[in-house]
Amino acid sequence: MRIVFFLLLLANLAFFALSYFGAGRASDESQLVQQQLNPQEIRLLSADQIAKLAAERAKQAAERPKTALKTPVVCLELGAFSPAEAPRVQQALEPLALGARLSQRRVEEVASYWVFMPPMRNRQAANQKAAELRKLGVEDFFIVQEDPKLRFAISLGVFRTEEAARSRLGELRTKGVRTARVGPKEISGQKVYFAVKDVPDALVARLNDLRRSFAGAELRDCPAEEKRAAN
């Protein structure tokens, strides 16, 4: 009888311990889960917000290499200078130690362009062409007399820029004039340009400062043929 009593006592103690400690552990685990999740602090993103966030991340990733990998400008040209000014410009460029990257070109600057018909055989041919122009409704022209090289040519207008001359040529084409062309009329003289290849940002700033010390000078991209030579 005493044995049965002790067995029942042990069974009750075991059940009590299991109930107490098991419930406490479950309570602790539940509290831990709640602390980990913090459901009141969870914010669900909409599809638009997710797409916007992805676009921002992609933009940031694309901008990083651009900041790190800046390529120099291929070629810049400083000018235009008269032949008398060129030595002074050359001297001003020497502190930049440009070496083989520096070159210069000399060109004949065109002061004006004209629309014209090439010289006729004689005065009679020129007068006949003038009559044809009048029939087409063209009145603004004259026959060149003084210049021996262009005598009996027909001038259809003189312009300061090639674009303006070509615009005039287009108008004449619409009236049926087919043999007129555009060409340089007057040459203002020789001009000198200095070209610099492989120009990084820091050098662009120094060239721009140098440009300001010469009235009327410009810093611009090199012409297409100079860029090809730089590659």
Q: What is the rounded distance in angstroms from the CA atom of residue 133 to the CA atom of residue 135?
A: 5
Contact (Cβ atoms closer than 8 angstroms) between residue 77 and residue 221: yes
The Cα 55–Cα 40 span in angstroms is: 28
pLDDT in tens, 87-137: 999 999 999 999 999 999 998 888 899 999 999 999 999 999 999 999 999
pLDDT of residue 188: 80
- CA contacts within 13 A on the Cβ side of 14: 6
Stretches where the chain sits below pLDDT 50 are 1-2, 4-9, 16, 18, 20-26, 29, 32-33, 35-37, 42, 66-69
Q: What is the pLDDT of residue 46?
A: 61
List residues bridging with 186 in a β-sheet.
112
- The pLDDT, as a whole number, for residue 129 is 96
Cβ(145)–Cβ(151) under 8 Å? Answer: yes
> Are 119 and 144 within 8 A, CB to CB?
yes
pLDDT at residue 43, as a whole number? 56
- Predicted confidence at residue 187, as pLDDT, reads 81
Please state, in angstroms and rounded to a whole number, the distance separating the CA atoms of residues 24 and 95: 83
- 70-74 contacts, C-beta under 8 A, 24 or more apart: 70/200, 70/201, 72/198, 72/199, 72/200, 72/201, 72/203, 73/198, 73/199, 73/200, 73/204, 74/197, 74/198, 74/199, 74/222, 74/227, 74/230, 74/231
CB atoms within 10 A of CB 197: 20
| Strand intervals (E) in 93-177 | 102-117, 142-143, 154-159
110/185 Cα distance (integer angstroms): 7
User: Does the N-terminal peptide bond of residue 80 adopt cis geometry, omega within 30 degrees of 0?
Assistant: yes
pLDDT value at residue 225: 63
Name the nearest CA neighbour of 144 among 120, 160, 162, 179: 120
The sheet with strand 218-221 has its strands ordered as 142-143, 154-159, 102-117, 181-199, 73-81, 218-221
Q: According to the model, what pLDDT value does residue 192 have?
A: 94
- Beta bridge partner(s), residue 81: 192
For the entire predicted model, the pTM comes to: 0.47
